[in-house]
Structure 1
């Protein structure tokens, strides 16, 4: 442990150094990486549930989809209930995060969650990620970080890309179901500047009876100088995708034989999307301060065609289109001062954040085979969010330090109705603000079972609601009167935790947490309306472990238990649907620099409630992925991935809701085809065992 009075200066010095990364899944400060001779990382975290994952652990992790990078966050589950061009489904701490509504993610300083989105509030599409270029994933769980604003109720993650590569390379991967992927990336130095470029082309049909026909084009160009602590980077990213989706379907349609396990009800769901961005970041570390700034502009669009309910309205099907076109711009400026021994080595950080979404058109349309037949609603929205935050970390005693922070957020939205027979009286302005205090205390290190620290954290946070719901006057479906909803929903959380090093190389953390959310109001993009839910309370226990027993071997094991309940009865019960009560994972990777490398990962999802009474539940299951690799020499290597190794027949996601199959609509069963639906289990199956072979050529 470094001398406490020298800690701020030493951290500033360390942050400028380039040393081998070791800390994967272990809390570290913003820019500190340590080498393998400094394994026991006690004394640098503000809570028991934060950490930094580096490229070393990601390199040998078998991934089915790019967004599964997020599963490095202990307890996070990433699934899909539609096509691979749509944002994934996320679960953490008793939250069904849907597509990102209660977890905030930034990539190279750019916010990924989309406000007032056509499909769902906080829509977090990470399909543009290139895992091989990720340098770090820094995560925090809970509402305790002063720098975290909107959507950071269950937590947040900040993903950064590398600035230079050891050698340029070409990756070619092929697999079952017409999977193919070409990635080429490299970096070079030009007049003292580093230029990194990466281009990815990918396609996949998947196991579906209706081929997915995924076509993805992706590119990143990054010009940088210096380091993340002293230097700058300019990054341009270009991503677009087209796909055909097989949505979740009624389980009874599969069991009756009407469709196969990988069949679909309504043809030609899917869509196309794009994300083009330009961002810049700059940092300067002085003797007693660090200054950082970033700015970004994003051109984003989505046209999503879905028919999750099948044939409720008739044999033409219930397909609808959700369209979103926007420009997002904003930035962040912050400064940290190291105040020295006379002020208890306090690190004081203050910052300001600004974001504006200029949504030229966000709409919901009834469609048949992707052709619009009716406009349910169409709106134009300008939404501006600003935030101020301050944070002070103070070392009061050798065994006691605090982290006291606060932030103030203000959101203003202007919504204008552009179309929809029952929508034209909607619109107007809405605004809201919130002050969010944060408090943390750390006790230790004590030499108990190895170096040990204890943590206590408390704070307020929030997620925003859709601007259309906050300015609503009538239901765009039928014209009936509705009440507007709050633009900001408050969250309050607390946590107790302990982190210890029982053996050299083994870091273990245990946390007990609870969270109160003022409202579960959700804007339903499929209907263009707000679904009323009540206030909720969540609590849980998490145990995370990271172990390096031998050189080149990394073992991580996580266990997360949670309980999610509404404060009052909803539909006859208090259970929050799709809140996973038990999740566990175990991963082992091996790479000592020799010819063989690889990793295996097992993931467990416990049975969760599908509706509020808890009568209907999902099925629990394990799943295992495997990666094996061999280096022939410095230039050539091959990889062999087996995803869903044991060919587990389970469901990626399960819901409970109303839907109709085509045969039910033909027969008029339960009113199907005339506006009524049959409630039941809706499922999207796991993809079967899939083999992929890859070859990398380095230059």
Structure 2
């Protein structure tokens, strides 16, 4: 996970400002940045690259989001979408990747990993539907494999959501809207003994605009007891989440164009799912003048029953192609790190961090052929035990007042143990990998820093693939795959606050993968593919135009190609997004008023390797208006897809066959963005 806390140098430099009046440092540019009222916290001297950052809970609260996972779109260049029912994990796009349901985007909530390894529906499955927005204290993000603290799935980026230990105000929320949307939530904290008790409850229902409504029903709860503070104290947290939903999966363009179905119809109305998550976690942290220690541990129980039909009647003209992907798992682990600080001169400040990460997943999952969610045959059943351990060391040193470095080394070891209903696909495998990283930070000069970042990372493959010898669906022989796949990244960037009230960052990057994870439409999962190379440019801006008005503008372009040069196959990468952007205007504390408008651009993607079929780009507009009825009561109106654009949330190109069709057909299959809708929310604080 990225190191985003202030360096000792920054803290020493700013300490006088905390002890003396503001006027004593009115001429100091660093202090001026910190003291600008309502501005976003300065990142100079804090981050190690142009693509690390922190978003506060207040900034996230001001965003308009249709579903919880969309808070990750506060990360510049990241797109979150959906191709199925509301309870399913989102789709993620970043740096020229179609990350499917979370591959190569490492995600954490309160130090617990969200990515699920060797998942039935895709490697790195990242379901954020259990998030309670009222509890989010901050979002830390980074992009690229440039820190030894980051491991599996973090090559494209990582996102860490942290809940608050205490709330500044208790909050009750009641929402209603079009398409059967309703939400009730309560979040509060109170003194309990020598600590604080935090609790939250949430209930949600949503149909969406679909002909057969999602009938999404979510129930969520959080209970936390903490003592001390974030840097000196401990907490224990219990979470519980469950949801059920119907699915309107992606549909073929040919059926819509022929008028056989409408945009919001389903081919198989019996698709759907159910999900449960229970967790117990704890964190302990101790900070002194010259050292810092932190230990986090967790146990997570996840359960998913998912029914999908992407090819309709291609494989079974009589019963259809619906398949079930059950997944049950218990995940346990801990992260421990200790940091020493040294101050050897007026500028030379150094810190050493050593850490250990351990995770174990006990998984039972499979693949079944079903009809109307009733099992017709079992394709495969597996019991997987996947265990990993890592040691890392990282050093950050400020050599002069304008040059510092962060260098690290991480060593990971994995064991994959698979017991399959096919004996040929049972076995175990051990593998490991060491990855270095180096960050050079120059400046600040005129409130500008420059960065050079180098590093290796990796993603793990599905444990079943590491020992497989026979395709369980066809019975044909197959080759096993590597357990860990290396990535290599490099980046140059800058961050500047030279323009008053503006924060700007620019970066150029390249990322190579020894093997790409690709989406397999017939099984609804991911599989190892060809090696790849991506390079791109990202430009991000934040401007505090007025005390009550801020403007965000982000744009990113990526060039993604397979790097093994197979002319007959083509070298484009399916689903690799080429450009994204957003323009957001946010109003806060304009008397009793607040609000936001956000324009989002989601660029085109090649859908086949020779680029002969492409998706269309899309542009959508969301907005929010809030009004304080009293100091403790406010009302908010939210609008989604305000222009009512008929565009896709996602597109795929593959072969399917509808009932009554004489032969299979290659076609674009898409999931539409929800039509224009509105929600109203009443919020009461106390």
Alignment counterpart, residue 497 of structure 1, candidates 480, 493, 499: 493
The answer on whether the counterparts of 1:8 and 1:347 sit within 8 Å (CA) in structure 2 is: no
The 2-side partners of 1:237 and 1:691 are apart by 30
3-state SS of the aligned residue for 2:465? helix
Shift of 1:634: 2.0
1:658 to 655, 661, 667: 655
Aligned match of 2:358: 354
1:608 to 2:605 alignment = yes
Does the Cα contact within 8 Å between 1:85 and 1:273 map onto a contact in 2?
yes
Q: Return the alpha-carbon distance in structure 1 between the equivalents of residues 599 and 119 of structure 2.
A: 34
- Cα offset, 1:10, TM superposition: 2.9
Contact 1:544 1:559 in 2 (8 A): yes
Pair 1:311–1:538, CA change in 2 (3 A):
same
Kept in 1, the 8 Å contact 2:8–2:341? The answer is: no
What does residue range 397-412 of structure 1 map to in structure 2 within 5 Å? 397-412=400-415
Query: Contact conserved, 1:519 with 1:533, CA < 8 A, in 2?
Result: yes
Shift in CA distance, 364/424, structure 1 to aligned 2, threshold 3 Å: same
Q: Distance in 1 between matches of 2:271 and 2:7?
A: 61
Give the CA deviation at 1:257: 1.0
Cα distance change on mapping 1:61 and 1:375 into 2, 3 Å: same
Contact 1:143 1:493 in 2 (8 A): yes
Tell me: CA distance 1:6–1:481, structure 2 relative to 1, closer, same or farther (3 Å): closer
Q: Distance in 2 between matches of 1:553 and 1:184?
A: 29
Q: CA deviation at 1:592?
A: 1.7
In structure 2, the residue matched to 1:59 is 61
1:255 alignment partner in structure 2: 257
Q: In the alignment, does 2:503 pair up with 1:507? A: yes
Q: Cα offset for 1:35?
A: 5.0
Deviation at 1:551, TM superposition (A): 1.5
- Give, in whole Å, the separation in 2 of the partners of 1:469 and 1:654: 27
Q: Pairwise mapping of residues 177-196 of structure 1 onto structure 2 (< 5 A)?
A: 177-196=179-198
Partner residue of 1:143 out of 142, 145, 153: 145
Show CA shifts across 1:331-371 (max 9, x none): 10101111112592111111100000011x11100000001
Tell me the secondary structure at the aligned position of residue 58 of structure 1. helix
Q: Does 1:481 align with 2:477?
A: yes
Residue 569 of structure 1 aligns to a residue whose secondary structure is coil
1:156 to 2:158 alignment: yes
SS in 2 for 1:534: coil
- Quote the offset at 1:413 in angstroms: 1.1
Question: 2:24 maps to which residue?
Answer: none
Q: CA deviation at 1:245?
A: 0.3
Distance 2:18 2:385 in 1: 40
Query: Any conservation in 1 of the 2:305–2:324 contact (CA below 8 Å)?
Result: yes
| Structure 2 residue matching 1:655: 3-state secondary structure | strand
Say whether the 8 Å CA contact 2:248–2:265 is kept in structure 1.
yes
Q: 1:170 to 1:615 in 2, by over 3 A?
A: same
CA distance in 2, matches of 1:497, 1:264: 46
Offset of residue 192 of structure 1? 2.4
Who is 2:103 aligned against?
Answer: 101
Matched positions, count:
664
- How far, CA to CA, are the matches of 2:489 and 2:547 in structure 1? 39
Structure 1 portions without partners, runs of 5+:
18-27, 671-676
* Structure 2 counterpart of 1:123, from 116, 122, 125: 125
**What is the TM-score of this pair, normalised by structure 1?**
0.92
Matched residue SS, 1:316:
coil
Q: Distance in 1 between matches of 2:34 and 2:679?
A: 34
1:100 deviates by 0.5
Aligned match of 2:27? none
Between the aligned partners of 1:296 and 1:183, the Cα distance in structure 2 is 25
Match of 2:222 among 213, 220, 223: 220
Verify the 8 A CA contact 2:43 2:53 in the aligned structure 1: no
CA RMSD of aligned residues (A): 2.1
For 2:388, which of 365, 385, 388 is the aligned residue?
Answer: 385
1:374 and 1:64 map into 2 onto residues whose CA distance is: 37
Q: Is the 8 A contact 2:123 2:525 kept in 1?
A: no
Q: How does 1:670-685 map to 2 (within 5 A)?
A: 670=663, 677-685=664-672
Q: 1:522 to 1:412 in 2, by over 3 A?
A: farther
Aligned counterparts of 1:12 and 1:290: Cα–Cα separation in 2: 19
SS at structure 2 position matched to 1:346? strand
1:14 and 1:228 map into 2 onto residues whose CA distance is 22
* Between 97-106 and 583-592, the greater mean CA deviation after superposition: 583-592
Pick the aligned partner of 2:454 from 458, 482, 486: 458
> Is 1:472 aligned to residue 474 of structure 2?
no
Preserved contact between residue 202 and residue 221 of structure 2 (Cα < 8 Å): yes
| Residue equivalent to 2:370 | 367
Taking the aligned partners of 1:690 and 1:409, their CA distance within structure 2 comes to 47
Deviation of 1:45 (Å): 1.6
1:165 deviates by: 1.4
8 Å CA contact 1:47, 1:455 repeated in 2: yes
Q: Residue 25 of structure 1 aligns with which residue?
A: none
Are 2:122 and 2:526, in contact at CA under 8 Å, matched by a contact in 1?
no
Does the 8 A contact of 1:321 with 1:367 survive in 2? yes
Confirm or deny: 8 A CA contact 2:439 2:451 kept in the other structure. yes
Matched-pair contact (CA < 8 Å) for 1:265–1:662: no
Q: CA deviation at 1:522?
A: 4.6
Distance 1:166 1:6, change over 3 A: closer
Instruction: Report the CA distance between 1:528 and its aligned residue.
Output: 8.7
1:206 aligns with 2:208: yes
The corresponding residue for 2:335 is: 332
1:178–1:5 Cα change, 3 Å: closer
SS of 1:663's equivalent?
A: coil
- Quick one: which of 652, 673, 681 aligns to 1:686? 673
Change (3 A) 1:443 1:594: same
Match of 2:641 among 640, 644, 659: 644
Partner of 1:427: 426
CA–CA distance in 2 between the matches of 1:52 and 1:40? 10
2:230 is paired with a residue whose SS is coil
How has the CA–CA distance of structure 1 residues 356 and 5 changed in structure 2, closer, same or farther, with 3 Å as cutoff? closer
Compared with structure 1, are the counterparts of its residues 606 and 15 closer, same or farther at alpha carbon in structure 2 (3 Å cutoff)?
farther
Q: Is the 8 A contact 2:7 2:45 kept in 1?
A: no
For residues 164-205 of structure 1, the C-alpha deviation after alignment (integer angstroms, 9 at most, x for no partner) is 112222111111111110011111111221111110000111
Cross-structure match for 1:446: 445
Is the CA contact (8 Å cut-off) linking 1:393 and 1:404 kept in structure 2? yes
Q: How does 1:296-315 map to 2 (within 5 A)?
A: 296-312=298-314, 313-315=316-318
